[in-house]
Chains A and B, each alone.
Chain A
Amino acid sequence: MDGETAQVASAPLQAPEIDPSLLRELVSHLREESAQLREEWVKRIVDARLLGVMSADEVYSEATAVYDNYVDALETGSVESLQAYARDLSERIIQRGVETHEVLGIVLLLRDVLARSLFRRYQAEPDLLTRVLDSYEPAANRIAVTVGVSFVEERERIIREQQAAIRELSTPVLQVRDRLLILPIIGVLDTQRARQLTEQLLSSIQANRAKVVVIDITGVVTIDLTVANHLVQTVKAVRLMGATAIITGLSSSIAQTLVDLGVDVSMIRSVGDLQGGLEEAERLLEEAAVVFDDPPGPAAA
């Protein structure tokens, strides 16, 4: 069974050779018994505790639609409409939290229910049963693969979309007060985003004439060597622009990682949390402001 599925999976679009008359008979049998088989299928879905997030009515109505599509696909040998339906269904149920194993489980259950029905029908004639199964099995496997793949593809598409959305959310550089910027970083930091972030920060320093920037990475879960080095580079670049960078919200695990990776942390000015970072920034700004408050020297006049 496993081997068979794998074989089909390797060539999912190749139509299996099926005896047409036999297939017609098979399909008409499955149509006749549809009400009863659907009931059985739904019962087994519920027994197996699949689709726990959907109500019984919903399961039944989806089951009806899937069953009809399934039999249609068996009849025509074309999985295209089923594929479209599976995509559509996936889009609806992924948001409800339906898992891959549930979808595969359901399709395999239907395959099982129908196979049992065929067994019951043709058990008196072993030869015919064998031929019916020869027709049924490859088609059913193909359908199972199609539905599974559609589901996974749909899920991947959603993941890709969300990743793009997260990346596009520009990381805001916020001015807290005169000469003080905050850069809150949330989510996954990859090389591309880190670079984008640095550029944005440096041009904001220039535009706002910032003296101190607080980079808050409370919202960053993990960090790798490349990104860590990039962070250090950002701090250095900020220095070259004449401003001071303070990093806040380094979690203990990230701090550990930085030290373990051997990143040069000597020049990172770090404060535990954002509040502390802002206090430190205010202190630095006051230090610098003393100059402006005093009567101007001959050079500054």
Chain B
Amino acid sequence: MSVPILKQGDYLIATIQSALSDSGVLELRDDLAQRVGKLRSRGIIIDVAALDVIDSFVARSLRTIALTAQLRGARTVIVGIQPDVAVAMVQFQLDLAPLETALDLEEALALLDQSRRTAGARER
């Protein structure tokens, strides 16, 4: 099942709704990389609230997606990691760094806005 990607202003929002297969991950990565270019997006928000497991494969995939998007000029924020998922991840020493995380969509939007503003201020 492919992951729906919504456009919201300058950002893209991908909501993962069920466990990702290998091909699903690659598809998502390509989709996002392509749309970032086409829609001139500056940020990607990936919502993983529906995942009840984030294993090393998913973690690595998310990192890959973020790095790819970064090269295309967009910043990636992961949102909606559940408490027990977070506990399991740190117990298995899975790290999402250098990815950024936020509690929910609203937070992620604020985070992206903030970083663009500070970047803009620096340019001025």
Contact = CB atoms under 8 A, between A and B. Distances in A.
B114 A241 contact: no
A259 to B, nearest CB: 21
A240 B91 contact: no
B87 interface: yes
B117 A291 contact: yes
Contact of A209 (B9, B89, B103): B103
A237 B89 contact: yes
A291 B83 contact: no
Contacts, number: 85
B14 interface: no
Interface in B61-85: 79, 81-85
B96 interface: yes
Contacts of B87: 195, 198-199, 202, 233, 237
A236 B83 CA distance: 12
A56 to B, nearest CB: 60
A241 B110 contact: no
Given A236-B95, A240-B101, A241-B83, A300 B117 contact: no
Q: Is the interface of A mostly helix, strand, loop or mixed?
A: helix
Interface string A144-157: 00000000000000
Given A297-B9, A299-B109, A240 B89 contact: yes
A202 B43 CA distance: 26
A198 B104 CA distance: 20
Given A237-B89, A241-B86, A205 B110 contact: no
Nearest to A291: B114
Contacts of B95: 236
Interface residues on B, range: 20 to 34
Contacts of B86: 202, 237-238, 240-241
Interface in B1-39: 8-11
A291 B110 contact: yes
Contacts of A276: none
Q: Which of A199, A294, A299, A301 has the most CB of B within 10 A?
A: A299
B102 interface: yes
Contacts of A234: 90
A7 interface: no
Interface in A120-157: none
Nearest to B95: A236
Contacts of B52: none
Contacts of B81: 240-242
Interface in A222-265: 233-234, 236-243
Nearest 8 Cβ contacts at the A-B interface:
A202-B83, A299-B9, A242-B102, A237-B86, A242-B103, A233-B90, A240-B86, A291-B114
Interface of B: 8-11, 43, 79, 81-87, 89-91, 95-96, 101-104, 107-110, 112-114, 116-117
23 contacts: A199-B84, A206-B82, A206-B103, A211-B107, A233-B90, A234-B90, A236-B90, A237-B86, A237-B90, A240-B81, A240-B85, A240-B90, A240-B96, A241-B103, A242-B103, A242-B107, A242-B108, A288-B110, A290-B117, A291-B113, A297-B117, A298-B9, A299-B43
Given A209-B107, A239-B101, 15 more contacts: A205-B103, A210-B103, A211-B103, A240-B89, A242-B79, A242-B102, A242-B103, A242-B104, A242-B107, A290-B117, A291-B117, A296-B113, A299-B9, A299-B43, A299-B109
